[in-house]
């Protein structure tokens, strides 16, 4: 389970990094709290952070359910794709939000795959008695 724990920590550190980037963008683009609009570049950083938080709500339980119901190393490998996807999403969204699709897909599909694998395993177990 150490690999799953490592991916979990990396996902949380990545989210913290994105939050720190929002704080820096707030200062760089002179967007005073509590405002979350008013400068397009600030809003890009903010949206990356918010979308990442939205994805984490799905990803972390999916990762742990996947680890429990399929091989933990496989779950961690799939989770690593999520981490890459979030990085691709971050870079694309900051540069050109219209190009965020690949990063979004690379972070949504691992969660979906982990959830589906866990669901299938749970149902099979229930049917087997």
Q: What's the pLDDT tens digit per position in 31-47?
A: 999 999 999 999 999 99
Average pLDDT over the chain reads: 97
Taking the complete model, does pTM exceed 0.85, yes or no?
A: yes
Instruction: Report which of 87, 107, 95 is spatially closest to residue 13, judged by C-alpha positions.
Output: 87
Q: What is the pLDDT of residue 129?
A: 80
64 Cα distance to chain centroid: 14
- pLDDT > 90? residue 81: yes
CATH number reported for the structural domain that contains residue 80 in this entry: 1.20.120.550
Do residues 62 and 115 make contact, with C-beta atoms less than 8 angstroms apart?
Answer: yes
How many structural domains is the chain composed of? 1
CA atoms of 79 and 10, how far apart (whole Å): 10
The arithmetic mean of pLDDT across residues 75-99, rounded, is: 98
Sign of CA pseudo-dihedral 3, 14, 59, 100: negative
Find the domain containing 80 and state its range. 2-128
CA atoms of 88 and 12, how far apart (whole Å): 16
């Amino acid at each position: 389970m150490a690999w799953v724990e490592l991916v979990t920590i990396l996902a949380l550190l990545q989210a913290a990094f994105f939050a720190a980037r929002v704080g820096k963008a707030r200062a760089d683009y002179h967007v005073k709290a509590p405002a979350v609009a008013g400068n397009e570049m600030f809003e890009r950083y903010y949206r990356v952070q918010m979308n990442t938080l939205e994805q984490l709500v799905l990803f972390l339980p999916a990762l742990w359910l996947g680890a429990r119901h399929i091989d933990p190393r496989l779950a961690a490998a799939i989770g690593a794709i999520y981490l890459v996807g979030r990085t691709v999403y971050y870079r694309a969204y900051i540069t050109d939000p219209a190009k965020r699709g690949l990063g979004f897909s690379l972070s949504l599909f691992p969660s979906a795959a982990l959830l589906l694998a866990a669901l299938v395993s749970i149902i099979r177990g229930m049917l087997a008695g």
